[in-house]
Amino acid sequence: MAHSKSIVAVDATTGKELWTHSFQAKTPLITTRGLNYWQSANGKDRRLILSVDNALQELDADTGQSITSFGQGGRVDLREGLGRDASKLALVQSYNPGKVYKDLLILGSATNEEYSSGPGDIRAYNVLTGALAWTFHTVPHPGEVGYDTWPKDAWKTVGGANDWAGMALDEKRGTIFIPTASPKYNFYGANRTGQNLFGDCLIALDAATGKLRWYFQTVHHDIWDYDNGTTPMLLTVNHNGRREDVVAQASKVGWVWVFDRDTGKPLWPVEERPVPASTMPGEHAWPTQPYPSKPPAFARQAFTVKDLSPYLEPGEREALTRQMNLARNQGLYTPPGTTDTVEMPGNNGGANFGGAAADPAHGLFYVVSKDLPAMLKLTLAHAVAPVPANASPEVRGQALYQANCALCHGADRQGKPPGIPSLVEAPAHLSDVQIAQTIHYGKEKMPSFGQLSGLEVDSIVSYLRKPQLAPVTAVPSVAATPVDPLTAHYRSSFGFMFAESGLPVIAPPWTTLTAYDLNTGRVMWQEALGDVPELAAQGHTGTGTHFPKVGPVVTAGGLIFTGSRDRKIRALDSSTGKVLWETEVGEALEGMPAIYQVDGREYIVFCAAARATTHTHAIPGHPISTDAIHGEYIGFALPANK
């Protein structure tokens, strides 16, 4: 039975529906990456904890009924307490469920990708009452560690540095390990000169109090969107002749960072190396970046014309060769500028959400990685063109569109394929509410434009719906007067480099699964993960899937289970990477598989609810399909223990 905007409980052994809780809000925004669970010591009070429309809520795990004694009438407004105007914060609820420690829920946050981003505070709430227990400021306040790594009072205006990738909890030590993302804006940081703690860090906090135990910053003054995009993994390794508890963090850059859990000391030496300077006015790229001596990178960290895909059309290859020969391309930390800049592994490459797993007892670490180069180019944002006070919504919307949307989608709304969709036909396929929700909250890699008021968003929707009611005008020009770097809003598209086929422009493999032995810091094996259906039909296999959205899980029996966009679920030998079993399902796989045990039998459940085709990026001649996906959850059972 299909359910929309609902939480559904099913029997874990049969899949039979037990109860459903539907949210009645007009456009309910539900946490997209799982729920959290808490139960009392006697097991009689069992609660599911989630976020809906920027409010923390709880359901009775047995009945699905709302727990109205939690917070104010069953809700805790997550926009409150961030030191900003709550009405202007479009999205603050965490994409992830957080971690439960005793009677606390420790929660990260989602921030938009704009200059108006909210702060990425880490907060803990009492599970029974909803009361705020502690806050850790990832953009430090006066007197806090890291305050001097920002301009004065940056905490009042700068956002980001949030945790969206998950947390790891060491209950015995009472330590929570939290990876953070880049400060905002992603690609230009003249308004946030400095090292920018605690952006792009792995942070260890006292789970009971939120006090800082240690931190390590993996990227200084990030202007590449090089987040720590996976959940940290807790392992025990043999190091220097003794057993040592460690935490391992994979990142978009392609490194695996390994630290002693108690001290934060890297297991192997880390060298600060000089990196290129920025050419942007007012921008001060940090002069060095950290490079770990071990383990070796799991992703390619350079991209030149010799790495172009063999599947490009001749005209594409020629055009890309010209573009890349003119682009600035000085390696991993080439700062973005007003001309094309190559970024590799790219801001959506390397390791991303759900992409890591571990065998904690044996010190083995596994990471799924995609190689997806990007081409960045900073452009000074246009100001909103003045319009008459009595202008129609369509005219106001046109001015707002040109100032906020035209950089990516084009002044003519035609998009910039491949990668950025045309909006010309969007109103034919999407309702006004769907368009407004996408603008307000963002979707996938499109950022949230939460700084726009509801009336402004409605005006943009009106313009997209009826552009013929707005006169054709020139794109407003950037003022010729001198630009103040501290207040200038330079922007870049995310720059994903897809070919017209929808595949990355770099040669395969596009997705790999890498196994590390963290006892030694060496790679055990690396294999391409999955295939592209269109290429496999022509006999081209071993390319790796084109856009992985499923992470791996590891069993104690030596199996890795994972899925991919080619509709395949696979079981791999964790010691060799060889496929031992595979099966095809109805739709492409996405999300994290769930693995659990009931009455001595082990189960694994996958979500098959994505498109397998490569044509997912609005390519000419291949528009994004609006047909419904017949998604489903598919459960498998391993042989029962005897």
Instruction: Note the pLDDT tens digit of each residue in 104-135.
Output: 999 998 887 788 888 999 999 999 999 999 99
* pTM over cut 0.85: yes
- Count CB neighbours of 519 within 10 A: 17
Task: Read off the pLDDT band of 623 (50, 70, 90).
Answer: very low
**pLDDT exceeds 90 at position 453:** no
Task: Specify the pLDDT at position 615.
Answer: 45
**pLDDT exceeds 60 at position 475:** no
The rounded distance, in Å, linking the Cα atoms of 487 and 192 is 11
**pLDDT exceeds 50 at position 573:** yes
Task: Specify the pLDDT at position 427.
Answer: 84
134: in domain? yes
297: in domain? no
Task: Specify the pLDDT at position 616.
Answer: 45
**pLDDT exceeds 50 at position 229:** yes
Report the domain count for the chain. 2
Type of residue numbered 433: V
Task: Specify the pLDDT at position 527.
Answer: 97
Closest CA to 463 of 402, 419, 408: 402
CB of 186 within 8 A of CB of 347?
Answer: yes
CA angle 181, 182, 186 (to 5 degrees): 135
Task: Read off the pLDDT band of 569 (50, 70, 90).
Answer: very high
Task: Specify the pLDDT at position 624.
Answer: 47
More confident residue, 488 or 45: 45
103: in domain? yes
Q: Which two tokens stand for residue 215?
A: 């931190």
Task: Specify the pLDDT at position 619.
Answer: 40
* Beta strand segments in 379-425, E: 379-380
CB of 574 within 8 A of CB of 517?
Answer: no
**pLDDT exceeds 60 at position 481:** no
Say if residue 345 is preceded by a cis peptide, omega within 30 of 0.
yes
**pLDDT exceeds 50 at position 206:** yes
Type of residue numbered 425: E
**pLDDT exceeds 50 at position 617:** no
Q: Worst-scoring range by mean pLDDT, 81-90, 198-207, 391-400?
A: 81-90
Decide which of 428, 461, 477 is a domain's last residue: 477
Give me the domain span that covers residue 154.
1-166
**CATH value at residue 123:** 2.40.128.630
Task: Read off the pLDDT band of 245 (50, 70, 90).
Answer: very high
The rounded distance, in Å, linking the Cα atoms of 302 and 367 is 19
CA angle 139, 336, 487 (to 5 degrees): 55
121: in domain? yes
| CB-count exposure of residue 388 (10 Å: 0-12, 13-18, 19+) | exposed
Closest CA to 545 of 558, 562, 560, 561: 562
Task: Specify the pLDDT at position 25.
Answer: 67
Decide which of 446, 477, 508 is a domain's last residue: 477
| Beta-sheet pairing, 379-380 with 364-370 | unpaired
Mean pLDDT of the chain: 89
**CATH value at residue 419:** 1.10.760.10
615: in domain? no
1: in domain? yes
Task: Specify the pLDDT at position 435.
Answer: 86
Write out pLDDT tens, residues 33-44.
889 999 999 999
Decide which of 135, 166, 197 is a domain's last residue: 166
Secondary structure (3-state) at 393 = helix
146: in domain? yes
The rounded distance, in Å, linking the Cα atoms of 146 and 159 is 15
